[in-house]
Structure 1
Amino acid sequence: MNVVILEDESLAAEKLAKMLLTYDSQITVTATLTSVEEAVEWLQANPSPDLLLVDIHLDDGLSFEIFQQVKLHCPVIFTTAYDQYAIRAFQVHSIDYLLKPLQYDKLAQSLDKLKALQASFQETTPQLNLEEVVKLLKADQTTYKTRFLVKAGNRIRAVKTTEIAYIYADQKLNLLVTHDGHKYPLDYSLDDLNLMLDPQFFFRVNRQLITHIDSAVEIHPYFKGRLKLELQPPLDMDVIISSERTPLFKAWLDK
């Protein structure tokens, strides 16, 4: 079995590779990748491995961004120190979600599960149908949020996600801005919001801002490979996209 490891901590990657060889000495670690950008480039340029072992937090962002750029053809096991991403993990071809510090017996159970499913399908069909395997392994899928309850003076109103232009951090406050320019405070962190919002329509531009695709009206070259983003309605601050996130943003915007 050919396995690709996505892990930005070298010691953790080495430990994981040793665990794989302990489980099966015939396993080959084809590549060890440390960033979203590196993973996208590798997966686009190489044949799909038999399995991806993926940490969620990589050098340049969340690994979920990889699956927005590359059509996945293999199962995934997520390994992470954070348990709040489990639902989103099962929305890609994930067969398991293992919390760090990783334990060998948990990894072995996940690999046993994959082998059992593969063997089961191979007995009944000429080729393994990955989509059918994933259907059996997935948890019930949860849809993304469609509205938020917000305070509007002494009232509470529901704002549909289709009304959201962008959400940005203003000092210690996160503000939801609608397409018609109204602002409402939100109690959620931007990290949480990034998981709640459909990535087809929303993109985490930087640490301060998440934008809807219809609000990103213009992009301009900036210093050192970065981009400057113009929003509608206008925001009274410079919105800069890092050089690392620029390719991801352009690909998302050009869907």
Structure 2
Amino acid sequence: MKVIIIEDEKPSARRLQRMLDKLNVPVDQMLHSVEESIEWFQNNVHPDLIFLDIQLSDGLSFEIFDTIKIKSSIIFTTAFDEYALQAFKLNSIDYLLKPIDDEELEVAVNKYKELKPKAKNVQLNFDDIKKLLSNSPVEREYKKRFTTKIGQHLKMISVDEIECFYSENKGTYAHTIEGRDYLLDTTLEKLEEELSPKMFFRISRKYYININAIKDIISYTNSRLQLKLNNYKEQEVIVARERVKDFKLWLE
């Protein structure tokens, strides 16, 4: 089975790839824009299955199908609201709401395998889908706050108050502008889909950084970068070497 992912947010694409690897579904290719996807489809054998995000950096993914006739089966990955999801139900398309859940992904993959002989005969009416989506906002909703338990109380923390997220001893913590650390019931992997990529960037396996918290950036050993944050001073905050290029692009 040949599988590709079309997703403009690279952290989300990598997370989905890791989830599929656990299901023994290898991903052959990851594409990140309408333009890149069209060029790839023009020069490669089309896959059996596409995991397709709707809104890409350079337009709606449906524009790909306006140019290229694609017979691959599709599972949409989307952050659209329930009303917009009528489009997928009407067209017999499977879909996964972001952030994608492991169990729901497994169910969708198994459903595709069961329906594989029929899947290629499904005719998708993208015009109808676009009409329904036009009645729904295309902007994604990202997480705006977190809750954490302190004794018998629940505290709400706005993402604007968080300088960074970090993992330690199998726990995930939020460090706030007030210099406090709070244990959260989540993981850095889940945060990659829940937080705005314009505001937060995962610089390493340990740290997820708020762009507004960066006070200084210093060249470090082995082509890495060291970040100085406004308040977090517990440990050195290092941008992993393989993330430096994307980090610099993110800053721009």
**TM-score using structure 2 length:** 0.57
What is the match of residue 33 of structure 1? 29
Question: Structure 1 pair 236/139, CA: closer, same or farther in 2 (3 Å)?
Answer: same
What is the match of residue 251 of structure 1? 249
Distance 1:182 1:170 in 2: 15
Distance 1:48 1:72 in 2: 17
What is the match of residue 192 of structure 2? 194
Which residue identity is paired with 2:61?
C
From 55, 71, 75, the equivalent of 2:58 is 71
Q: Give 1:67-146 correspondences, 5 Å limit.
A: 70-72=57-59, 74-75=61-62, 86-88=77-79, 96-97=94-95, 99-100=108-109, 102-103=112-113, 105=115, 109=119, 112-114=122-124, 116-117=125-126, 132=130, 135=133, 143-146=141-144
Distance 1:78 1:233 in 2: 48
| Residues 118-170 of structure 1 deviation map (CA, whole Å, 9 limit, x = unaligned) | 5x6xxxxxxxxxx9368279999872222222234553221111111111112
1:87–1:141 CA contact under 8 A, matched in 2: no
2:73–2:120 CA contact under 8 A, matched in 1: no
Distance 2:223 2:33 in 1: 18
Distance 2:163 2:113 in 1: 43
| Residues 170-202 of structure 1 deviation map (CA, whole Å, 9 limit, x = unaligned) | 212221111121221112122222222222212
What is the match of residue 12 of structure 2? none
2:179–2:231 CA contact under 8 A, matched in 1: yes
1:220–1:229 CA contact under 8 A, matched in 2: yes
Distance 1:78 1:173 in 2: 38
Question: Structure 1 pair 134/235, CA: closer, same or farther in 2 (3 Å)?
Answer: farther
What is the match of residue 204 of structure 2? 206
Distance 1:54 1:40 in 2: 13
What is the match of residue 14 of structure 2? none
Shift of 1:214: 0.5
Q: Give 1:172-251 correspondences, 5 Å limit.
A: 172-251=170-249
Which residue identity is paired with 1:172?
K
Three-state SS of the structure 1 residue aligned to 2:193 is helix
Question: Structure 1 pair 239/46, CA: closer, same or farther in 2 (3 Å)?
Answer: farther
Question: Structure 1 pair 224/104, CA: closer, same or farther in 2 (3 Å)?
Answer: farther
Distance 2:136 2:123 in 1: 12
2:161–2:177 CA contact under 8 A, matched in 1: yes
**TM-score using structure 1 length:** 0.57
Question: Structure 1 pair 150/74, CA: closer, same or farther in 2 (3 Å)?
Answer: closer
Distance 2:181 2:249 in 1: 29
Q: Where do 5+ consecutive residues of structure 2 fail to align?
A: 6-16, 65-71, 96-104
Question: Structure 1 pair 177/104, CA: closer, same or farther in 2 (3 Å)?
Answer: same
Q: Where do 5+ consecutive residues of structure 1 fail to align?
A: 17-31, 57-62, 121-130
1:216–1:230 CA contact under 8 A, matched in 2: yes
Distance 2:73 2:197 in 1: 19
Which residue identity is paired with 1:215?
A
Distance 1:135 1:226 in 2: 43
Between Structure 1 and Structure 2, how many residues are aligned? 203
Distance 1:248 1:136 in 2: 32
